[in-house]
Amino acid sequence: MKQFIRGIAENNHYQPTHLLQILRQIQAHYHYIPEAAIEQLSELLSIPRTQIISVVEFYSFFHLTPRGQYELLISDSITDHMLGKKILFDYLANKLGVAAGEVRKDGVVSLDNTSCTGMCDQGPAGLVNGYALTRLDRPAIDKIAELINQQKPLNEWPSELFHVDDNIYKSGLLLDRQIEQGAALRSAFKRGIKETLKEIDNSGLRGRGGAGFKTAIKWQFCSEEQQTERYVVCNADEGEPGTFKDRVLLNSYADQVFEGMTVGAAVIGAKQGFLYLRGEYLHLNNKLQGILDQRRRNGLLGSNILGSGLDFDIEICLGAGAYICGEESALIESLEGKAGIPRNRPPYPVTQGYLGKPTVVNNVETFLAAAAIAVNGGDWFANIGTEKSKGTKILSISGDCDRPGIYEYPFGVTIRTVLNDCGAADVQGVQVGGPSGTFISNQELDRKLAFEDLATGGSFIIFNSSRNILDAVHNFTHFFAHESCGFCTPCRVGTSLLKKQIDKIVEGHGSAGDIVALEELCQLVKNYSHCGLGQTAANPILTTLERYLGLYESHLKEISFEPGFDLDGALETARRMANRHDASAHLAQTESEHE
Amino acid sequence: MANKIRVATTSLAGCFGCHMSFLDIDERMLQLAEVVEFDRSPLTDIEHCTDCDIGLIEGGVCNSENVHVLREFRKNCKILVAVGACAINGGLPALRNHIPLEECLNESYIEGIGVENPKIPSDIELPLLLNQVHPIHEVVKIDYFLPGCPPSADVFWKFLTDLIEGREPSLPYELVHYD
């Protein structure tokens, strides 16, 4: 082991910033992070062992105790559930003889749930040793169980298990035509870098991650910073359940995304860029490395790019299963090899980002658009969309519709149009912008997708009238409780309390006061949390309470209060150990039952 | 006399520290006694509640008896108050929540150092332990929460005088500021 770890550390130049990448390799090799490896890394990287342990414990894909040689994770997104995930999961668990969260006795396989893997258009989905599995059904599971029991190496598994489709059903301004490799850079250099920034400014391009900050202003702020060491970061930590557009962009439009990053580097004067790729998209890594190599060979990355004097290169860093790393300051922490805990803002990353240096962090789609704007000019983009939301938005559509996949629309499109295009019938509601966004009912289908009305990072999950909305709320609330980074109390404790309270209501233990308590708790978590995760974690509850209060109330009991847990069940262990069978060894769930 | 406000208090899975802190209102107890009469409480030795206006509960819920007592209070008290960290969050007793009850009992009665005649106590008189310690608001509806470990005497005083004088109780920052 010593040799192996030393080798990895050496390949990573003993840089603590590479800790995540190092741990990923150790986890992949040993299926956990052995104590001895931590000790050795602590010495090799000159960082305390506790710091390494904190990173291991923070990320879902790292483990301090051994997982199976085949680490199976099944996506727990609501969209997977709508496709029958639960029954399949039980079938799989049964087939393999291993329970959720456990490692089989022979150590061959472990099974667990994981947050949305970004395959909502082709679920139920999962991961095996980090590689995406799609369209799981009984035959596929039979096959997987067989392969695992035969201990077949992953590279001998049939490729259809790993097949990922793009599913682009509607293309527009950006997806219609990919720019020619190098075209954006040539245009930018020809036009002049300042003028190119002006074009991006004129285009009205706003950040595509959801927040919608104007891209040109961000780039300009960064370029005006005193410190000359600057960085460009592409945020491909697409973790919002229901979002998968970046997966498609990086599968089929990556060259243009890298080109957009390089244009950004030219504008702000950066020498180094990073693509922070969510761990769930490991299957894209080799392809992306190949494209980077090709760009280097073609003089589009490296030193003196296209003879312009610009030196710039891009490194791909993989995440390890943490939704919070999609928050830009948490992402930067993660890039630095630390736990992804959001920083205080200000200072914003444009002034103090990666290693404290000015850094531009943008979404994959933003860089894609920036490259196209560098070629086609600002007006080309600004002529489309609405007054405050220029251009197009790429949507990831999933849930109850005939054609789940990728759709590109000019901003300002109505929900109704989108629903018609993807073949959604009998719609009850739509989750716009993922769990952190808004749930709208079928009374609001004329609302528009735009920063002026419904802002979105691209997630669009459709629910037809056969669905119970509370199932979705329940799923999303559990998601946030799982993904809270634990830094601030309102979010760490609050999201768990929300989970408990929603469980209580969904499981039928709620009474009138519980809705009031739930709403108060929502406001507390929303208003007092440190970052966007906590501030939006209550959105699934708040936006559905507003629209479907009757649905919540229908789950309530008439009595004034009932405990949210099984009181008599809570005595079971003590009863068994004390060997008690008398009446006083039992408790009624409510007082009235006593009398 | 008949118009006095009736107050009951009890300690569930607590340490009586909150009660001790309550007694720290010192001579103000005499003032309180002019308008308040104590019903069931460790201060009176009355065993069961009758109709009360205010019930003060110290400690969390760790066993079946706690559940019965808490329900008796809820049934008889117009206003029920969670007093102190244990009643509000489970507090110190809830530290056992991370350890399975089976391990706790084995350690205490079977395998622990110095245990003689090892066996799990079993008697109809003994309440059974719940597998986890719960805050009281998870078992009955609670109207007010007095934070602190323990809440200071001034917190009790401010809260009770507010209620008695017909104001909505509120605790100023100084009273819930702990460092």
At A496, which CATH number? Answer: 1.20.1440.230
Residue A581 lies in a domain: no
State the average pLDDT over residues A321-327: 96
State the average pLDDT over residues B109-126: 94
- Chain A and chain B share a number of CB contacts under 8 A equal to 59
Identify the pLDDT of residue A594: 45
Last residue of a domain, one of A409, A438, A467: A467
In this structure, the answer to whether residues A193 and A218 fall within a common structural domain is: yes
Contact A574 B100 (CB under 8 A): no
A587 CB within 8 Å of a chain B CB: yes
DSSP of A300-367: SSEEEETTTTEEEEEEEEE--S-GGGGSHHHHHHHHTTS---PPPSSSPTTTS-GGGS-EEEEEHHHH
State the average pLDDT over residues A571-594: 88
Write the Ramachandran bin of A375: left for phi over 0, alpha for psi from -120 to 50, otherwise beta: alpha
Chain B closest-CA separation from residue A393 CA (Å): 45
Contact A565 B134 (CB under 8 A): yes
State the average pLDDT over residues A8-24: 97
Residue B149 lies in a domain: yes
Chain A closest-CA separation from residue B76 CA (Å): 13
Chain A closest-CA separation from residue B110 CA (Å): 11
State the average pLDDT over residues A242-267: 98
Residue B25 belongs to what domain range? 5-94+131-173
Contact B64 A575 (CB under 8 A): no
- Please give the mean pLDDT across all residues of chain A: 96
Residue B25 lies in a domain: yes
Question: In terms of Cα–Cα distance, which of A134, A123, A131 is closest to A282?
Answer: A131
Evaluate if residue B2 carries a pLDDT over 90: no
Residue A120 lies in a domain: yes
Report how many domains make up chain B: 1
CATH at residue A93 = 3.40.30.10
Report how many domains make up chain A: 5
Which residue among A513, A578, A591 sits closest to B120, beta carbon to beta carbon?
Answer: A578
Interface test with B, best of A492, A571, A582 (most B CBs within 10 A): A571
What residues form DSSP beta bridges with A360?
A232
Identify the pLDDT of residue A211: 86
Residue B179 lies in a domain: no
Assign A592 a pLDDT band (cuts: 50, 70, 90).
low
Residue A160 lies in a domain: yes
In this structure, the answer to whether residues A463 and A476 fall within a common structural domain is: no
- Chain position carrying tokens 């009595």: A559
State the average pLDDT over residues A226-247: 97
Q: ipTM > 0.85?
A: yes
A551 CB within 8 Å of a chain B CB: no
H or E stretch at A28: helix A19-30
Assign B101 a pLDDT band (cuts: 50, 70, 90).
very high
In this structure, the answer to whether residues A529 and A462 fall within a common structural domain is: no
Interface test with B, best of A567, A581, A586, A593 (most B CBs within 10 A): A567
Helix axes A2-11, A19-30, angle to 10 degrees: 150
Identify the pLDDT of residue A593: 54
pLDDT tens-digit readout, B123-143: 999 999 999 999 999 999 999
Identify the pLDDT of residue A5: 96
Chain B residues lying within 8 Å of A577, measured CB to CB: 102, 105, 120
In this structure, the answer to whether residues A134 and A263 fall within a common structural domain is: no
pLDDT tens-digit readout, A533-549: 999 999 999 999 999 99
Chain A residues lying within 8 Å of B75, measured CB to CB: 591
- Chain position carrying tokens 């649905």: A551
Contact B67 A574 (CB under 8 A): no
B126 CB within 8 Å of a chain A CB: yes
Contact A577 B120 (CB under 8 A): yes
H or E stretch at B81: strand B77-83
In this structure, the answer to whether residues A453 and A313 fall within a common structural domain is: no
B108 CB within 8 Å of a chain A CB: no
Helices (H), chain B: 17-23, 28-35, 64-76, 84-89, 101-106, 153-164
CATH at residue A449 = 3.10.20.600
Residue B120 lies in a domain: no
Contact A584 B124 (CB under 8 A): yes
Contact A571 B130 (CB under 8 A): yes
In this structure, the answer to whether residues A352 and A227 fall within a common structural domain is: yes
In this structure, the answer to whether residues A239 and A254 fall within a common structural domain is: yes
Chain A residues lying within 8 Å of B129, measured CB to CB: 571, 574
Chain A closest-CA separation from residue B137 CA (Å): 8
Identify the pLDDT of residue B178: 84
The whole-model pTM stands at: 0.90
State the average pLDDT over residues A448-452: 95
A35 CB within 8 Å of a chain B CB: no
- Chain position carrying tokens 């741990």: A23
State the average pLDDT over residues A48-65: 97
In this structure, the answer to whether residues A367 and A414 fall within a common structural domain is: no
In this structure, the answer to whether residues A462 and A474 fall within a common structural domain is: no
Question: In terms of Cα–Cα distance, which of A200, A282, A208, A195 is closest to A247?
Answer: A282
Range with the poorest average pLDDT among A69-73, A554-558, B156-160? A554-558
Residue A562 lies in a domain: no
Chain A residues lying within 8 Å of B124, measured CB to CB: 580, 582, 584
- CA triplet A562, A564, A565: central angle to 5 degrees? 115
Q: For residues A299 and A189, give the distance between their C-alpha atoms in angstroms, rounded to a whole number.
A: 14
A570 CB within 8 Å of a chain B CB: yes
Range 74-103 of B in CB contact (< 8 A) with A: 74-75, 100-102
Identify the pLDDT of residue A564: 87
A10 CB within 8 Å of a chain B CB: no
State the average pLDDT over residues A345-357: 95
Evaluate if residue A410 carries a pLDDT over 90: yes
Nearest CA in chain A to B131: A570
Residue A560 lies in a domain: no
In this structure, the answer to whether residues A421 and A490 fall within a common structural domain is: no
Residue B37 lies in a domain: yes
Residue B99 lies in a domain: no
pLDDT tens-digit readout, A125-169: 999 999 999 999 999 999 999 999 999 999 999 999 999 999 999
pLDDT tens-digit readout, A297-317: 999 999 999 999 999 999 999
In this structure, the answer to whether residues A536 and A430 fall within a common structural domain is: no
Contact A578 B122 (CB under 8 A): yes
Contact B131 A584 (CB under 8 A): no
Identify the pLDDT of residue A590: 85
In this structure, the answer to whether residues A96 and A134 fall within a common structural domain is: yes
Last residue of a domain, one of A353, A382, A411: A382
Chain B residues lying within 8 Å of A594, measured CB to CB: 71
Total count of residues recorded for chain A: 595
Residue A99 belongs to what domain range? 70-165
Chain A residues lying within 8 Å of B71, measured CB to CB: 591, 594
CATH at residue B62 = 3.40.50.700
Interface test with B, best of A521, A559, A577 (most B CBs within 10 A): A577
- CA triplet A531, A537, A539: central angle to 5 degrees? 120
Residue A583 lies in a domain: no
Chain A closest-CA separation from residue B119 CA (Å): 9
Contact B128 A580 (CB under 8 A): yes
Assign A121 a pLDDT band (cuts: 50, 70, 90).
very high
pLDDT tens-digit readout, A470-511: 999 999 999 999 999 999 999 999 999 999 999 999 998 898
A577 CB within 8 Å of a chain B CB: yes
State the average pLDDT over residues A23-43: 97
Evaluate if residue A595 carries a pLDDT over 60: no
Residue B119 lies in a domain: no
pLDDT tens-digit readout, A79-95: 999 999 999 999 999 99
State the average pLDDT over residues B67-87: 97
Residue B114 lies in a domain: no
Interface test with A, best of B128, B129, B131 (most A CBs within 10 A): B128
Nearest CA in chain A to B102: A573
Sheet strands (E) in A76-194: 102-103, 109-114, 126-128, 131-133, 168-170
Are the C-beta atoms of residues A434 and A459 closer than 8 Å to each other? yes
Residue A290 lies in a domain: yes
Residue A587 lies in a domain: no
